[in-house]
Structure 1
């Protein structure tokens, strides 16, 4: 039996060691046919060598300084580079790599996955696809649909089309995390497919989810400090049931509500 090192994770790192899931990620990258590849958190290089072989241009972002130096020393090809920085705060406009169509691939740290994903799907030079491994519960929220829609689902689905590839058991990692993971595929939408002023709408939706177990009229009246009777009337006027809960609403419902409330 293969023994695990069981080292303490640093910077939220859990390294993928099961070759079945490594191969599945590589196969999905190959199927997309884009050879400019950005890897977030290559770590010990579980899939890096295969990505480098496949790519025309490869860029890896590694926050751990020691791992970053190990990777820089290992890969010397002209079309391969690594940066020691935080992917959640990276400005893609500063680097030539992002001028071309590219894929983002990564086993993302649980604690910073949302920040990293949101940074890249809202940036000027966004990836065409993201193949990422994240905590299973978070992946389910990304994929959520009515009547159990989550706020985080809106923040992702406004900008991307999301598909689950597979779930990954915690035993596939070293050190072993406390939770299972999922590999998902996100395809970023074209600019003309994204609603106007998406961040303004998301800020409004967030207020609606501030008390998501309450009915819509109660949640919005509390967060927006609007008279409940007035709000109830306005929701009925646009054919929105005030007794619905936030998770029952599609994005087009929120747009109708937002356009109505800003006039009050």
Structure 2
């Protein structure tokens, strides 16, 4: 195990203060840093894209196990620290950038690379979509996020959320381990968990149907207490009759609710919606 990084001393020496809005809670328990690398299954053959490098605590452990690490950090204040902390690792490339506005293909050479990230939960789905729409796609993601959110992402049909759907359409999520709030500095108000997502070669919903799938799901989950025929009546000007026709075409009971549908049923719904839109265009 590497020597612990004195996070609080580093912050003090550099006059740095964590920004709550950026989810800057630094993992200071090295036992968990090592366990994250183990959960990710990082090997010397792997290229790793680390998103949210922070002060480099996890970056060091990744660099000690991986063939190459590209460590991305959007907060430029941390770059001098990262350069000093990682100066002895010649397999690390440091990048100061916002991952959501950058194509990972700029730094990752081959598809199938690993992503390891400590991110605010609210960008989880958007980040996965962003990475998978890149020309160089990852094969696996290991994310440190709020424990409750990680559990929601792994939910089964009957208890699905929009976030769970948005992740499961791209891969198979699993909670690998829990991390108590006290393992971070500053300590967040909730516990965290490490979520691994084995990404599929192709999404469960055909690529050309994904936009319609997400639009339908957002519309339905915005009224998740309502039955589907009511929840979807306001979508794309369907109205009550249009929503009923859509659900009938997809062979889905109009009295069900959004959280009860399986991914396969969401796929049918998106397909039926696109077919009906195409027919309407022919008529008009």
Please classify the TM superposition score into its range, dividing by the shorter chain length: 0.7 to 0.9
Normalising by structure 1, we get a TM-score of 0.87
Question: Would you say the 8 A contact 1:130–1:185 is kept in 2?
Answer: yes
Matched, 1:215 2:224: no
**SS of 2:69 mapped into structure 1:** strand
Question: Would you say the 8 A contact 2:44–2:66 is kept in 1?
Answer: no
Matched, 1:67 2:78: yes
Which fold has the larger relative contact order, with Cα–Cα distance below 8 Å and residues 6 or more apart in sequence? 1
Question: Would you say the 8 A contact 2:249–2:272 is kept in 1?
Answer: no
Matched, 1:15 2:56: no
- What is the CA distance between 1:224 and its match in structure 2? 3.5
Aligned length: 261
- 1:81 to 1:227, Cα distance in 2 relative to 1, 3 A: closer
Q: Which runs of 5+ in 1 are unaligned?
A: none
Partner of 1:201 in structure 2?
213
Q: Which runs of 5+ in 2 are unaligned?
A: 1-6
Partner of 1:228 in structure 2?
240
- What is the CA distance between 1:189 and its match in structure 2? 0.8
Partner of 1:44 in structure 2?
55
- 1:252 to 1:109, Cα distance in 2 relative to 1, 3 A: closer
Partner of 2:101 in structure 1?
89
**SS of 2:177 mapped into structure 1:** strand
CA distance, structure 1, for counterparts of residue 74 and residue 45 of structure 2: 25
Q: State which drifts further: 157-166 or 232-241.
A: 232-241
Question: Would you say the 8 A contact 2:181–2:188 is kept in 1?
Answer: yes
**SS of 2:233 mapped into structure 1:** helix
Question: Would you say the 8 A contact 2:172–2:198 is kept in 1?
Answer: yes
For residues 126-145 of structure 1, what are the structure 2 equivalents within 5 Å? 126-145=137-156
Residue by residue over 1:44-95, the C-alpha shift from the partner in whole angstroms, topping out at 9 and shown as x without a partner, is 2222212112122111001121212221233344432100011222212333
CA distance, structure 1, for counterparts of residue 197 and residue 263 of structure 2: 18
Normalising by structure 2, we get a TM-score of 0.81
Of residues 191, 198, 201 in structure 1, which corresponds to 2:202? Answer: 191
Residue by residue over 1:139-196, the C-alpha shift from the partner in whole angstroms, topping out at 9 and shown as x without a partner, is 1232122111111111111111111102222111100112221101011111376523
Partner of 2:3 in structure 1?
none
Question: Would you say the 8 A contact 1:220–1:226 is kept in 2?
Answer: yes
**SS of 1:47 mapped into structure 2:** helix
Partner of 1:105 in structure 2?
116
Question: Would you say the 8 A contact 2:68–2:92 is kept in 1?
Answer: yes
